[in-house]
Amino acid sequence: MSRLNGPVRFRGSGFAPRDNAWASAGTLLGLVALWQIGASAGLIKSLFLPPPAAICAALWHLAVSGELWRHVSASLIRLGWGWLSGSLFGIGMGLAVGLWSAFRSPGMAVVAALFPIPKIALVPLFIIWFGIGEGSKIATLAFGVFFPTVIATAGGVDNVPRGLIRMGQSFGLSTWTIVRTIVLPGSLPAILSGFRVTSSIAIVLLVAAEMIGAEQGIGAFVLSAGNLYDTDNLLAGIVVLSLLGLIVAWTIGRLERALLEWR
């Protein structure tokens, strides 16, 4: 037999991770500082990995010359249209799959068959269908964004408590009102989580699409710099893409905070 004598030990800590913006920024800046120190000390050869200072200089040069904005604006337009159209069609299809039997099995069969296809492999086909211009690039992005959006939305609809839908029916609300006021807001957390995934997929596909038959855009710029072994500009382009990813993730985070205030 043992004896207890003393204050009760607190055992309820942990399992409650919190966001810390300073820790995020500090980690990134710390890594960049280490990289710069390594390069300045001669531990990292600039031929293999240019130092952050050289990348910043390249970025500054690109910004001053106006070249940066020319590429970024072309990419942003493609990203905007591609992601928006893929998301809108995806949400529509996801709602249909989640709500109506007529769409459920056929829709999920199409998604299961087409989602795993590498979208890059379809770029030549899109060029034949939509031409070498903007159409094929936007279609590549939209196609890549569409399927994960369908899956996220349909999953979100499935997770809306059926009791809430029955409540709406019991009060005689129309199908459209139930979809608008119960199903859509209820599946919004899943749709916004899907946005996080699809925005990253869209950036990856943007670069890939711009590497095939584009003169402007971050992807085209990175490809051109790579072909010339201009590693400063190559990494400057990659930094821009990384910043784009950060801005998109931050925007979605703000959107979540604004739209899901009720949670």
Partner 1 sequence: MTGLRLTLDGVCHAYRDLTVLDGIDLTAEPGEVTVLVGPSGCGKSTLLGIMGGMLKQSAGSVVVEGDIAADCLNPLTYVFQDFSLLPWRSVAGNIELVLGRCPDRVARIAEVLALTGLTEFAGAWPRQLSGGMRQRVGIARALAVRPACLLMDEPLSALDAQTRDLLLDEFSSIIARAGTTTIYVTHNLSEAVRLGQQIVVLSRRPGRVREIVRIDRPLAGRRARDPDLLAIEERLWRTIRDDAAAAERERIDVPA
List of residues contacting partner 1 (CB under 8 A): 163-164, 166-173, 177, 181-182, 185-186, 188, 260, 262-263
Residue number with CB closer to partner 1 (73 or 169): 169
Mapping DSSP onto H, E and C, the string for the chain reads: CCCCCCCCCCCCCCCCCCCCHHHHHHHHHHHHHHHHHHHHCCCCCCCCCCCHHHHHHHHHHHHHHCHHHHHHHHHHHHHHHHHHHHHHHHHHHHHHHHHCHHHHHHHHHHHHHHCCCCHHHHHHHHHHHHCCCHHHHHHHHHHHHHHHHHHHHHHHHHHCCHHHHHHHHHCCCCHHHHHHHHHHHHHHHHHHHHHHHHHHHHHHHHHHHHCCCCCCCHHHHHHHHHHCCCHHHHHHHHHHHHHHHHHHHHHHHHHHHHHCCCC
Give the nearest distance from C-beta 156 to partner 1 in angstroms: 13
Closer residue to partner 1, CB minimum distance, 66 or 172: 172
In the complex, least distance from residue 188 CB atom to partner 1, rounded to whole angstroms: 8
- Distant-in-sequence, close-in-space partners of 253: CB < 8 Å, separation ≥ 6: none
Q: How far is the CB of 164 from partner 1 (least distance, A)?
A: 6
Q: How far is the CB of 162 from partner 1 (least distance, A)?
A: 10
Least distance between partner 1 and beta carbon 181 (Å): 6
Closer of 173 and 239 to partner 1 (Cβ)? 173
Give the nearest distance from C-beta 105 to partner 1 in angstroms.
22
| Shortest distance, position 129 Cβ to partner 1, whole Å | 40
- Closest to partner 1 by CB, 74 vs 160, is 160
Give least dist CB 221 to partner 1, A: 43
Going by C-beta distance under 8 Å and a sequence separation of 6 or more, which residues neighbour residue 204?
144
Is the CB of 82 or the CB of 168 nearer to partner 1?
A: 168
Q: Which is nearer to partner 1, 188 or 222 (CB)?
A: 188
What does the alpha-carbon distance between residue 155 and residue 157 come to, in Å, rounded to a whole number? 5
Q: Select 57 or 184, whichever has its Cβ closest to partner 1.
A: 184
Nearest C-alpha neighbor of 114 from the set 82, 142, 135, 137? 142
For residues 140 and 82, is the Cβ–Cβ distance under 8 A?
yes
CB nearer to partner 1: pick between 45 and 166: 166
